[in-house]
Chain A
Amino acid sequence: MNCELAETTIHGYFDGELDAVRSAEFERHLENCARCQAVLEGLESLRTQLQQSDLYERASTDLHEKIRKQIAQETTTAIVSPRLLWRRWFLLPAFGTLAGAALIAIMLFIIPSHRQSTLTAELIDAHVRSLQPGHLFDVQSTDQHTVKPWFDGKLDFIPPVSDFAAQGFPLVGGRLDVIDGHNVAALVYGRRKHFINVFMWPKRETESIADSSGSRQGYNWVSGHSGDMQIYLVSDAALSDLRELKNLIRP
């Protein structure tokens, strides 16, 4: 081993991450290499400096407190979900852009587990909410070139917007909605006499990418992903219709 090779390896050695063979090999090099010995001392002293200068910042009592409270609240609101839903509903106008939000919400569930009932309840609630008069869309247009730019600047991502009228799913409009505390795009498609809500947001690291579907309270939902987007379709239309639309949306 020469110094050039040792340049990176020395860090693995210093951190105790080399296997026995590489470690022994490095030690043989180190014995006769004043330069690497000096580097090693430097690493040691940097570590000592960093660890003994009181740099570690613990969570304050205040933060501990806040988080415990938040979790207790989360548990309570999950149980009395109707109240939570109303509260969220009242919050919407406060965000301005959301004033007329939520009409035909089709909420989809990704996670099949019954434990995900909070998200499920939230999605179905958004769907029902969207069916109330005046809440279906913020921008009403069958033109994808009108709907897509409308989202520009309102979200920190650009949802894919296409009209599938030729395939029997005409684009009706779009709106902003809030799911799980995040702004999401909701596209509204028609299917005969039904409305289908398509919710989209960028995939989050904790989300399962597995596609799933199900029914609840008379509504069907299908989840999937399109590129980096997580998508959920919710409607009282047939599951097969939802799957068909999902396959059209994702490339």
Chain B
Amino acid sequence: MLDPQDKIRFEQLVLPHLNSAANLARWMLRNRADSDDVVQEATLRAYRFFVNFHGGDARAWLLQIVRNTCYTWLQKNHPSELMTEFDEEVHQKPSANPETLAAQTDERQRLTAALESLSPRYREVLVLRELEGCSYKEIGEITGIPIGTVMSTLSRARERMRQTLTGVAGAAAKGVS
């Protein structure tokens, strides 16, 4: 049980990062309703294990718990999504349907669809770096990816994102001509 002072510390240190938690979970699960449940569960776990937090980066600490809770949820509800990652390295399978993407005239929808078509491992590093502004060190802490591998994972994730988006552009151009 946390004493009242710990509760105040938790509210001051951890709760300010709820937006980060919500954002990461929403992109990991691709669904707002599910991600709200997961954030709630993860925050409660963080609260219960707050005694194990010995200072440092509270955002990274919370996001690590959120991220792991997301994977547990995915494993339980969409195990196939985690399986596809083995393919990812080997095959250059088109991960998004170009026609669906091309139909998205709205930039936000287009980017959302592209981002959601990436595997969870790529999605998480992109979201953490580009939306959350995390350093490589923080990304390593949150995802458990060795710090030396964060850069190459990001490089592959960005390349995949680029391919997905330009694939769309190509398909769209073809559709017009």
Q: Which residues of A contact B60 (CB under 8 A)?
A: none
Q: Is the CB of A17 within 8 A of B23?
A: no
State how many angstroms separate the Cβ of A84 from the closest Cβ of chain B: 11
Q: Which residues of B contact A64 (CB under 8 A)?
A: 18
With beta carbons under 8 angstroms apart, the residue of A46, A59, A111, A205 that contacts B161 is A46
Interface: A180 (CB within 8 A)? yes
With contacts A53-B108, A55-B115 taken as known, whether A60 is within 8 angstroms of B40 at the C-beta atoms is no
Q: Is the CB of A47 within 8 A of B130?
A: yes
Within 8 A of A (CB), among B126-152: 126, 129-131, 135-136, 151-152
Q: Which residues of B contact A180 (CB under 8 A)?
A: 48
State how many angstroms separate the Cβ of B127 from the closest Cβ of chain A: 9
State how many angstroms separate the Cβ of A111 from the closest Cβ of chain B: 7
Interface SS of chain A: helix, strand, loop or mixed? helix
Interface: A240 (CB within 8 A)? no
With contacts A11-B151, A53-B108, A58-B19 taken as known, whether A42 is within 8 angstroms of B162 at the C-beta atoms is yes
With beta carbons under 8 angstroms apart, the residue of B39, B130, B151 that contacts A50 is B130
CB-nearest residue of chain A relative to B109?
Answer: A53
With beta carbons under 8 angstroms apart, the residue of A15, A42, A53, A118 that contacts B111 is A53
With beta carbons under 8 angstroms apart, the residue of B1, B45, B49, B129 that contacts A117 is B1
Q: Which residues of A contact B36 (CB under 8 A)?
A: 60, 62-63, 66
Q: Is the CB of A67 within 8 A of B18?
A: yes
With contacts A57-B23, A113-B51 taken as known, whether A156 is within 8 angstroms of B76 at the C-beta atoms is yes
With contacts A59-B39, A79-B1 taken as known, whether A15 is within 8 angstroms of B129 at the C-beta atoms is yes
Contact residue range for chain B? 35 or more
Give complex CA distance A111, B3 in Å. Answer: 16
Q: Which residues of B contact A17 (CB under 8 A)?
A: 135-136, 151
Contact string against B for A residues 198-230, beta-carbon threshold 8 Å, 1 for contact and 0 otherwise: 000000111110000000000000000000000
Give complex CA distance A208, B39 in Å. Answer: 22
Q: Is the CB of B40 within 8 A of A63?
A: yes
List the interface of chain A (C-beta within 8 A of B).
7-12, 15, 17, 42-43, 46-47, 49-51, 53-60, 62-64, 66-68, 70-71, 74-75, 78-79, 111, 113, 115-119, 156, 180, 204-208
**Apart from A54-B108, A56-B131, A66-B40: 20 A-B pairs, beta carbons within 8 A:** A9-B151, A15-B129, A15-B151, A17-B151, A51-B131, A53-B108, A53-B111, A55-B115, A63-B18, A67-B40, A68-B15, A71-B11, A71-B44, A74-B44, A78-B1, A79-B1, A115-B1, A205-B64, A205-B68, A206-B45
